[in-house]
Structures are given as structure tokens and as C-alpha cells.
Structure 1
Amino acid sequence: MRHVLVTGAAGGIGAAIAARFAADGCRLTLTDYREAELAATAARWGAAHLAGDLADAAFAESIVDRAGELDVLVNAAGIYPATPLLEMTAHAWDRVQDVNVRAAMLTTVAFGRQCVASGRPGVVVNISSGAATRARPGAAHYATSKAALEMLTKACAVELGPHGVRVNAVSPGFVTVDSTANPVTEEYAAAVSVNPLGRRGLPGDIAEAVVWLASDRADWITGAVLRVDGGSTAGAPHLPRHWTGTTSVQEGTEGGRAAHD
């Protein structure tokens, strides 16, 4: 029976990931700072749970050893407050980096050390975001943290791969979650959820990708970022054609019109 540690597991995507691993018969240890919600989620799956704030480095460093011998680590914890750039403070910036990036680094290092000491392979899956490649107003700290998390994923894959530890990331598009920790307006949701497949994501969509990356079916994949976003990274189907008529293609000319975005 594989033992899986999921951070940010009290609700939303983290809880869905926990549920999907539970359905596969895995043993679970869950962590989150929302103690009551975490306890309820853990009870649902008969999981152990460790409540605490991942911005606290000592807590983040300790959870792997406190959980016991692990096979899979999923870093799903993340916060995305809305802070206009001109109102940004060092505290607001650092808290997002501490939870979204530093905690994932600390848990991955602890997990890697555990795997090396026991001589066992392991898998890490980080939860990134489309914000890693696309900034938006009020999210400079969040977008930066997710870009850093994707590079951290690659750096860890390079150094831990020789020890039998695979490290990948899943990058969700807009996913519908009922989150008191990270609320969004319907106006925002409608603006960002347009994609070629025509629907908003569900937590279960992300959970399926995480479980697959953690499985032996993906055993030659490491350092990858899997975009699970309904195709939104591929392009914008809601934009109008850049020219209303039909134009011919002629070698060596663009007809005198600007053709570059």
C-alpha cells in the first residue's frame, strides 16, 4: 500500500487529490492550516492529518518525517491573495513565496533525503498554475511564485532523478472550487475560464492527472509540467478573427497589413 502525503488537503483540488488516491487504496497523510476542515476531510478517508501553517519553515520541514515513510508527496498547498502591485508589501510578497514555493522546496528536500536514506524510489507532484506563464493584475506575487515552482520542479528532478525520485508538476487552468481561503468573483471566473473544450475545470480533472503522474505508467517522466487546462494554453477560441474577410496568402508579402500580435 502506497503512502501519500498531500499538502493543502482541507478542500478544493487538494481534497480531490486525496480522494482519488484513497479510491486507489492508498494510505494518506494530509496537511493544511484549516484545522477543522482538514480533520473532516481526513476522517472521510481514514487518513492521518497534521494541521499547521506551511509558511512556518519548521512546520514545513517536519511534516515528511512526522508522516513516516512515504511513497508520494503532492505539494498542493497554495494561496493567491489579490494585491495590486502598488500596494504590495514585503510581508504580502514573502507569505505567498513561503507557502507556494519555499514550503514545496522544504518538503521535497525532506522527502528526497528520506528516499535516499531508505533506498526507495519516490514521486513528487507539485501543483502549479497557468499564472506561471501569464501574469494578471493583483497577482504579481502569485504568478511569480508559480513560475518559481515550475523551475523548482525541474531543478529537483535533475538532482533527485539519480536517486530514483521523479518530480513533476500539474498546471491547472481555471478550476471551480468552493474556497473560503482563496475566493474569486464570478466576473473573474467567467473571464478566465474560456477554453477550446468549452467548460470550466473540476478538481477531479486535476486529481486524475496527479494520480497518473504518480503511477508507474509515467515512470519515464520527470521534470515535466503537464498543462491540464481545457486547452487554454493552446489559444483563445473566444477572440474574433483578426480580419473579417478572406485574404489570400502570397509568398513574401503580408499585404501591407500588420500580422503580428
Structure 2
Amino acid sequence: MRTVLVTGAGGGIGAAIADRFAAAGDRLVLADLRLVELSTVAGRLRADHGAEVVELPGDLADADHASGLVAQAGAIDVLVNAAGIYPATPLLEMTAATWDRVQDVNVRAAMLTTVAFGRAGRPGAVVNISSGAATRARPGAAHYATSKAALEMLTKACAVELGGLGIRVNAVSPGFVTVDSDANPVTEEYAAAVSVNPLGRRGEPREIADAVFWLAGPEAGWITGAILRVDGGSTAGAAGLPLHWSGGTTVQKGEEAHA
């Protein structure tokens, strides 16, 4: 039985990840700012799986809280940094406080928990939850996209420095996943626009949880510093676009094709 610390476990992808590990018989330590939601998830894991669950509520933007999570959790084997916020803030309305809070929760907290894990001197696995926004900006998400790009480089940097301690550090980058979240609400208009992908559907939290579970397990024992895109093929390309030219399908001698 492993001990697994999951941040952002009060709902959505974080809760699905906690459920996946609980179903495997692991001990869960759950962290989230939302007290009621955290307690609800913990209660469900106990009822559904008979899991041993510890709740550690608090604000990950508080550096002391983030730094102390690993010590409070005890000897952990797996750390999943799933906490994240993505307020919609047009760039010209951005303030230092809004920018800093997104970076503090989405990047700094993951750095602090991972550093604490490394200092504990126990081999194990870290899985960070990134986003397609790490490589693709969109209106209102300059702070969020920047934080996820930073998280992916943090993942690689930690993999390099912690590999000698037997700690693997990877990330899962979800595409658009259907979640019911009061903390990070989205409109149906937005969801429809970003959920177009080659597989033709939105993702489910359990599909992200499965990827995290695999990366944290022995089957992925020689993988570190990797970013696993679980996005229905969104990163591969845009399947829904029409042919760029309908006048023919072959290139004649002497002609050049351009992207």
C-alpha cells in the first residue's frame, strides 16, 4: 500500500485521481482550499473503497502551508500536484495580485511540495497536472498559460535534479475535460470551442486519472521528465479543418507544395 498526496483533491480531476488510487488500495492524503468539497470527496472514498484518508485543508498560495504538506502527510510514495486555478482575466485588466496568485497556486506550490518530497529522502513519483495552455495561449489566460508552461519546465528541472534520489517527476497535460467546478467554471460556448479534437469528444476526469496512475506506477519506472498529452489528439492537429484546396489531390512536376 502506497501513501499518495493529492493537491486540488476537492473536485474535478483531482478528485478522480484520488478515487483511482483509493480503488487500488492506496492510503490517501488530500489537500484543497475548499473544506466542504474536500470532506465530501474524503467521505466518498471511505464509503466506496474503505480507503484510509487524511484531509489537509489550506491555501496553497500560502508558502508555509505548501511547504509543510509533505511533512504533515508522513512518508509519502506518490505526490500529485493537481491543484490549479484559471480565472478569466483580459491582459489589460491584469493586476500584480491576480498574476501572482495564479503563479503561486499553479507553479510555486508544486515546486515547494516537490522540494519537500525530495528533502524527505524517500524514492517515489511526482506527477504534475499541466494543460494544453502550456503551448497554446488564449484570450484571458495569460497568467494561466504562463503558469502551465512554467510547470512543464519545472517538471523537467525536477526530474533532472531528483533522479539520483530515485524520484521520478512527470506531468500529464489534459485536453478539455468535462468537470463540474464552481472554483473554475467555464461557459458552454467556451467548452464547445476548445473541445474539438481528432477523437471527436471531450475527455473525462477518469481518463486523466488513469494516465496519472500509470505514470506513478512501476510500469513507467524508466520514465521521468516527460509530458504526457492526454487530449484526444488536440496536440497532434486540427482534424475538423477542411482541405486547404479542393482543386486536386496531386502535385504536378515542377510545382511546390507549401504549408
Q: Choose which of 77, 80, 100 in structure 2 pairs with 1:74.
A: 80
Tell me the residue number matched to 1:245: 247
Per the alignment, residue 25 of structure 2 pairs with 25
CA distance in structure 2 between the partners assigned to 1:176 and 1:36 by the alignment: 21
In structure 2, the residue matched to 1:189 is 191
Q: How far is the alpha carbon of 1:254 from its aligned partner?
A: 2.2
Which consecutive unaligned segments of at least 5 residues does structure 1 have?
none
1:151-190 alignment, distance < 5 Å = 151-190=153-192
**Equivalent residue for 1:55?**
61
RMSD, aligned CA? 1.0
Aligned equivalents of 1:252, 1:206: Cα separation in 2:
48
User: Where does residue 143 of structure 1 map in the other structure?
Assistant: 145
Correspondence for 2:93: 87
Q: Name the structure 2 match of 1:9.
A: 9
Which amino acid letter does the alignment assign opposite residue 40 of structure 2?
A
The alignment's TM-score, normalised by the length of structure 1, stands at 0.95
SS in 2 for 1:204: helix
State the SS of the aligned residue for 2:86: coil
Give the C-alpha shift of residue 163 in structure 1.
0.6
Question: Following the alignment from structure 1 to structure 2, what is the Cα–Cα distance between the partners of residues 184 and 139?
Answer: 13
2:135 to 109, 133, 136: 133
Deviation (angstroms), 1:212:
0.2
Q: Alpha-carbon deviation of 1:251?
A: 5.6
State the one-letter code of the partner of 2:9: A
Equivalent residue number for residue 110 of structure 2: 104
Tell me, what secondary structure is at the counterpart of 2:256?
Answer: coil
Deviation digits for residues 38-64 of structure 1 (CA, Å, limit 9, x no counterpart): 011112223111100100001000111
